[in-house]
Amino acid sequence: MVASLRRSRRWRAQYRVSRSGPRHAAHEGFETVPHPGSVTAVDNSLSPHGGRLIERIATAQEIRAKWPRGLRALPHLDVRDQLAYECVNIAYGFFSPLTGFMGHADVDAVVRHMTLASGYIWSMPIVLDLSQAAVDRLGVKPGDALLLTYQQQPLAVLEVEEIYAYDKTFLAQQIYGTTDPAHPGVARTAAYADRFLAGPLTLVNPPRINPPFDRFWLTPRQMRQAFAQRDWAAVAAFQTRNVPHSGHEWMMKGAWLAASADGVLVNAVIGAKKLGDYIDEAIVLAHERLREDGFFRQDVHMTSTLLWDMRYAGPKEAVFHALVRKNLGCTHHMFGRDHAGVGSYYDTYAAHRIFDNLPDLGIKSVLTLEWWYCPKCAGVAYEGLCGHQEHKQDLSGTLIRSIIQGGIEPAPLTLRAEVLQVVRACAATYGFGSPFVTEQYLRERAPVLSMPAMDAP
C-alpha cells in the first residue's frame, strides 16, 4: 500500500517534482535565464556542485610550511559573524565550487546571468567587503596574504588576488528585484563597504560549534557519511527558519512521498535574526522533537543546521539553497509558498517558476502548494486536494507566532503540544523568557561559534 502510494501519479500531480528546461517566463525584475552557451553542465546528480567537494582546512604542519614567519606576522582583519560563517562554509565545501570570496568576474556573472564565470549555476554573491581606508591601513594588495580573525583569534587566511569595486545598486536590483532600502537584503548590500577582496581562503583554526547546535552541525563530508550509514539514497531537504507547525510537518511528509525519498533532512538556517523571529534554539530543538516523539520514524528524519544569514532574495535564494543542499548530498529540495521571501516583494510561487528556466542542477525540486486547516475535512488539508477553500484557515508562521505571543494556546491541529512544550522551554533556557528574538537576545545570547585559543605558528 505504501509503495503504491509513494509512486502514485495522482499524488505526483499535486506535488510536482521539477524537471529541467524552460516552461514559463522569468519572474519580472529578474534575469533568471543563464546566458546562452555559458552554462557548464553538472557532473552527475550525486556529486557536489562543480564535481568535487571543496575542503580547505590547513594542518599545523601546512601552516608552518606556507607561512614560515607565522600567522601573526600577516596583516589581520577581525571579521563579523556573517563573514566568519561564510569562511567556515567555503572551507568545508558547503559553497562548492567556491574556493574563496568571489572576484569581479564571478560576481558580475552571478549578477547578470546567475552563473559563475566558469559557467556553473550560482545565484548569490559571496563577498568580503572592506573600506578603501581599511585597505590602505592594512597595506594589503593583490599577492598578499591576509589573516582573518574572529573573536580575536586566527580563523582563516585569504590569499588576496583582487581588490575591486562593484555597483551595489545594480547588484541589489539584479539579485533582489528591487532597490527598496526597506528590503533587508538591499539594506545589507547598501551597508557593504566600498571595496571587495577576493581570493582563495584556507581555514587555519576551525571554530567550535556551541550547544545546543553542536550535535546538529555536520560538514558536507560528514553529512554524506551520515546518509550512507542510514542507507539513504534519496534525500529530500527542508529549509527552515521557523518552528514547525502542522503545515510544515505535512509538507515534509508529502515531499517524502512525492520524491520516493529514503529520508528527510531538516536543514535549519542559523544566523542573523530580526526582532520577532523565532530564536535559533527553539527552531532546531522543536524540529528534532518531531522525530524524538515519533511523528517521523527515527530512520527517515534528521535535523541539521546551516550557518547562513538569510538574504530574503526569494527565487534567487531558493536556487542557492538547492545548491548548498546538493553539496550536502541531498537529491531533492522542497519549496513551498513564499520561499526565502519577505514582505510582498515576490509572488507567492516565484521560487517555483525560477527552476523552470534552469538547466539540470543535479538536485530535483519538489514544488508544493499550501497546507491549511480545514474544519470541513476536520484536519490539515492540501490546496491541491481540498475542495473547501472558502473554509480554509491558514497555517502561516506569522499566525502561529502571533498566537504564541498573545499567550493563546494553539489548537493541537495547528501546532503540536510537544512542539509548544519545546518552544516554551527554549524561551526559559535561551530566550530570556521569550521564544522570539528580542533586543536582549541579540545583545546577550551565547555565540553560535567559539574560537579556540591558538598559539599561532
* Domains of the chain, first to last: 2-25+211-449 (3.40.50.620), 60-206 (3.10.400.10)
Most confident of the following: 20-34, 320-334, 414-428: 320-334
C-alpha cell of residue 204: 587555519
Q: What is the pTM of this model?
A: 0.90
Give helix then strand counts, H and E, for the chain: 16, 18
C-alpha cell of residue 455: 598559539
The whole-number pLDDT of residue 15 equals 60
166 band by pLDDT with thresholds 50, 70 and 90: very high
189 band by pLDDT with thresholds 50, 70 and 90: very high
pLDDT single digits (tens) 377-430:
777 877 777 788 787 777 766 777 777 877 777 777 788 989 999 999 999 999
For the chain, give the mean pLDDT.
Answer: 88
Q: Can you tell me the mean pLDDT for 130-153?
A: 97
Burial of 66 (0-12, 13-18, 19+ CB in 10 A): middle
d(CA 131, CA 345): 30
Q: What are the residues whose beta carbons fall under 8 Å from the beta carbon of 447, sequence distance 6 or more?
A: 151, 210
C-alpha cell of residue 327: 553539496
DSSP E strands in 113-223: the ranges are 128-130, 145-150, 153-159, 162-164, 195-203, 208-209
More confident residue, 45 or 134: 134
C-alpha cell of residue 73: 606576522
